[in-house]
Structure 1
Amino acid sequence: MPGAVEGVEQTRFPVGVSVRAITAFEPRNPDRRRFGALQFRSGLVLSSGHPRFGGFSGLARLNDGRDLVAVSDRGYWLTARITSQAGKLAGLDDAEMAAILGASGRPLSRSGLYDTESLCIADGVAYVGIERRHEIVRFDWAGQGVEARARSVPVPPEVKRLPRNRGLEAIGVVPYGPLKGALVAIAERSGKEDEPTLGVLLGGPQPGLFQVARHDGYDITDLAFLPSGDMLLLERWYQPLRGVGMRIRRIAGRDIRPGALLDDPRLIEADLGYEIDNMEGLSVHLESGRTVLTLISDDNFSFLQRTLLLEFELLP
């Protein structure tokens, strides 16, 4: 890689990532592996001395889970190759970070579109949701990877009216069923606490708006689709004196439609008695016939928080 030019910000650079294994999801009960409908497989605490590393809010795993792609909320990609040992996460190799590029080829963050909070990659296209500006952009991931430039995805006016810091936190493409190919995006919180939040269907045969019920102070932080077309919702609550919690719900694909109010049971719920942090990214991939969920946490660039990578298997 050519050396950096003095006074010019590098837009792509390697990062060294250190890892520490998480052997038990519930430290006070280390032999427990099943949690609700999920079985804990393994986890890592990720750390790096590079100042750009952290703040990861969107996640994808490609090529049968071997490749990791994440976005930070400061407008950077993280790409890496996942290594495993005996079926457990072992580390990240060849890790790089790169500025997410706008349509002009300049870093997206320089145009004020820095709060990149959600990611999905489907059929060679990467979609990124930008929270504070309430926008969605797409990239030719298969053709250009991190060198791809953003192209705007039109959104309805209701999205533009979302609260400034409560915008699009979850995004995904329906893989199966009547809505196959539609882009789904959901706001973190579009009303008062425990009021339903806004969801939108873009493209596909039935574009329109829907709502997602919220309970117990949880906000939406990501979504991912199962191969069946069912949708998993990652949720999080935070209170200064209590800490943080996370929950995953499963929404039946047949229920997703314009005008719907979506509300289905949880698969797992956890608080700081478990190995969690500010869990914001969720992805799903198949591995030898098993459905694997991977979660990543946003450390908010705070020394009080951690970047966690957690793997679970969805049980039948």
Structure 2
Amino acid sequence: MRTLMLRLLACLSLFFFLVPVTYVRSPAPPANDSQYIALEPIALDARTPARTRVGRLAFLGGWKITSDNGEFGGISSMLALPDNRFLMLSDNGTLVGFTLDEARHRAIRPFIAPLPDGPAPPNEYAKKNWDSESFLHDPKTGQFWVGYEHQHSIWRYGPSFARKESVNFPKAMQKWPDNGGAEAVLRLRDGRFLVFSESAEYFKGGYEALIFEADASEPNSKAALMGYRGPKGYRLTDAAILDDKTALMLHRRFTPFDGVSAILSIAQLADFQPGKVATSIPVATLKPPVKVDNMEALAVTRDGDKIIVWIASDDNFSTLQESLFFKFQLLDAENSGKKSGPKRQNEKAEASPGFSTFESD
């Protein structure tokens, strides 16, 4: 009976993962513009609270994020700014910002506010018009870039989001599925932009991505097509530059029987070439009993020589899901404490051809 109930709950959760939020969200409660954000500390594995490792990730902290503000939730991407300041972007066109006080588990100077402009009039906050999925920031100029799906486009905003500076509706993106648009965006040091579709199939394998020769928000910026193939059965939800040669790629999967899981992997920037299909190598798998939800947001910072990885989840504005926020250290492969060896049978089924896999849980 317990197994049957768990499967029924999983099937119900699947409905919330696959159906656009516009149609599953409960009737809107009375407007609440509270700016308070609460952080509740959580363990990586509630069954084994002392656990601190998953693959090459060392757990440094975790929180469940809540707010009474009716527009809070749906975190799809985020930025890690100086002084432990975080800026998160919801897929309903809402910005969530706060400074993380790790010692006291507090969100200092929080705010929740809508984007100043987007692909619809300001009073139209339907998900199909304000589905902001990807996020970039230039610390030198203060400019921000946002990638939208449904209304497939890339927007650039001025410092502090004071104004819209440019917008581009690339022709190649207009063929992407409504709910499979600019799920992740990378900006390379040479000025090129990479824009990844979540579900537009590439004819050579994987899913489509575009390489823009310059600022993707400029209408005259030319783009070339390529493909990206993540771990088998998983779809890309975010990406972040790791260094001059590599990027971290975040993927998620949900099935009625296995529930939700996520894979973090490393891709070589040199593999992102027009007409090619890039892949990546998994470094950690988040799956039960590890605390996990619909992991969609990724950011990378440095603490001396340590690489810090931040991951947050999209609760789809559903009471069955949570907004989670994790802090990890990415360990060196040679120091991760995992021995390489033959693939386990279940790993072979979860990895794409050509992947190097290892025990990640």
Greater Rg over alpha carbons, structure: 2
- Structure 1: how far apart are the matches of 2:147 and 2:119? 18
Matched, 1:99 2:109: no
Matched, 1:211 2:227: yes
TM superposition shift of 1:242: 3.0
Q: Secondary structure at the match of 1:49?
A: coil
Q: Secondary structure at the match of 1:190?
A: strand
| Paired position in structure 1 for 2:12 | none
Does structure 2 retain, via aligned residues, the 8 Å contact 1:98–1:146?
A: no
AA matched with 2:129 = L
Percent of paired sites with the same residue: 25
Does structure 2 retain, via aligned residues, the 8 Å contact 1:14–1:94?
A: no
Matched, 1:130 2:131: no
Q: 1:195 to 1:109 in 2, by over 3 A?
A: farther
Does structure 1 retain, via aligned residues, the 8 Å contact 2:144–2:161?
A: no
TM-score computed with the length of structure 1 as normaliser: 0.84
Note the alpha carbon deviations across 1:37-79, whole angstroms, 9 max, x for none.
2211111001111111101101101115x11111111111111
Write out aligned runs for 1:163-312 (5 A): 163-175=177-189, 180-191=190-201, 195-204=205-214, 207-312=223-328
- Structure 2: how far apart are the matches of 1:237 and 1:209? 25
Note the alpha carbon deviations across 1:245-301, whole angstroms, 9 max, x for none.
100110012222212211121011121321111100101111233211111111111
Does structure 2 retain, via aligned residues, the 8 Å contact 1:104–1:149?
A: no
TM superposition shift of 1:139: 0.9
AA matched with 1:29 = T
Write out aligned runs for 1:11-160 (5 A): 15-23=35-43, 25-64=44-83, 66-85=84-103, 90-102=105-117, 107=122, 109=124, 113-123=129-139, 124-141=142-159, 145-149=160-164, 151-153=166-168, 155=170, 157-160=171-174
AA matched with 2:321 = Q
AA matched with 2:182 = L
AA matched with 1:56 = I
Q: 1:255 to 1:108 in 2, by over 3 A?
A: farther
Q: Secondary structure at the match of 2:288?
A: coil
- Structure 1: how far apart are the matches of 2:293 and 2:118? 34
Does structure 1 retain, via aligned residues, the 8 Å contact 2:120–2:130?
A: no
TM superposition shift of 1:159: 1.4
| Paired position in structure 2 for 1:3 | none
- Structure 2: how far apart are the matches of 1:14 and 1:151? 31
TM-score computed with the length of structure 2 as normaliser: 0.74
Q: Secondary structure at the match of 1:160?
A: helix
Q: 1:28 to 1:248 in 2, by over 3 A?
A: same
TM superposition shift of 1:187: 0.8
> What are structure 2's unaligned runs of at least 5 residues?
1-30, 216-221, 333-361
| Paired position in structure 1 for 2:7 | none
Q: Secondary structure at the match of 2:40?
A: strand
Does structure 2 retain, via aligned residues, the 8 Å contact 1:101–1:108?
A: no
- Structure 1: how far apart are the matches of 2:118 and 2:326? 33
Q: 1:270 to 1:110 in 2, by over 3 A?
A: closer
More helix by share: 2
Aligned length: 293
- Structure 2: how far apart are the matches of 1:103 and 1:22? 35
- Structure 2: how far apart are the matches of 1:158 and 1:101? 26
AA matched with 1:130 = Y
Does structure 1 retain, via aligned residues, the 8 Å contact 2:78–2:135?
A: yes
Q: CA RMSD in A?
A: 2.7
TM superposition shift of 1:90: 2.3
> What are structure 1's unaligned runs of at least 5 residues?
1-9
